[in-house]
Structure 1
Amino acid sequence: METSDYDGYTLWGHAILQQEGEGILQPERYAASGTITRGGKLIEASGILGLFDSEEEAHHAGLDWARAWVDAHG
């Protein structure tokens, strides 16, 4: 999980490791999501934004979504 302060909000970028198929070795993939809080209260949360090849890419996608939400609603 990666956080960022932005325009009075705290933004969270999440990377959720996806485990597909039991016993089958596959490259790791990460689902991205974002969360927005202000003053410790939940403001908005995304659903799954997409699958990414790295944890870092997923974190960034979640933070990018959260920044865009704040820009549109803040």
Structure 2
Amino acid sequence: MQSQSYHGYDVWGHAIPEQEGILQPERYAASGTITLGGKLIHASGVLGHFGSEEEAELAGLDWALAWVDAHT
């Protein structure tokens, strides 16, 4: 999970491991969360599927940053 403060909000990017067949490469679903003062403001659904944990986290973080930009 990656997080940062942005315009007073805390924004989070999440990577959720997907469990598929044992012989398939590991994949991660991305999601994002926005909090303010410790309270949930908004959370995304699954934003996409990625081949690495870092890519998924960054996609979630990018979504959260864009949400804040659109709502402030």
TM-score computed with the length of structure 2 as normaliser: 0.96
Unaligned runs of 5+ in 2: none
Q: Over alpha carbons, which structure has the higher Rg?
A: 1
Report matched runs for 1:1-74 at 5 Å: 1-21=1-21, 24-74=22-72
Could you say what secondary structure the match of 2:55 adopts?
A: helix
Distance, in Å, in 2 between the alignment partners of 1:73 and 1:2 is 21
Q: Which amino acid aligns with 1:64?
A: D
Aligned-residue Cα RMSD (Å) equals 0.7
| 1:59 Cα deviation after fit | 0.4
- Per-residue CA distance 1:24-57 (angstroms, 9 max, x = gap): 3110000000000000000000000000000000
Distance, in Å, in 1 between the alignment partners of 2:23 and 2:34 is 34
Unaligned runs of 5+ in 1: none
Distance, in Å, in 1 between the alignment partners of 2:3 and 2:62 is 11
**Segments of 4+ in structure 1 off by > 2 A?**
none
What percentage of residue pairs aligned between the two structures are identical?
A: 75
TM-score computed with the length of structure 1 as normaliser: 0.94
Q: How many residue pairs get matched?
A: 72
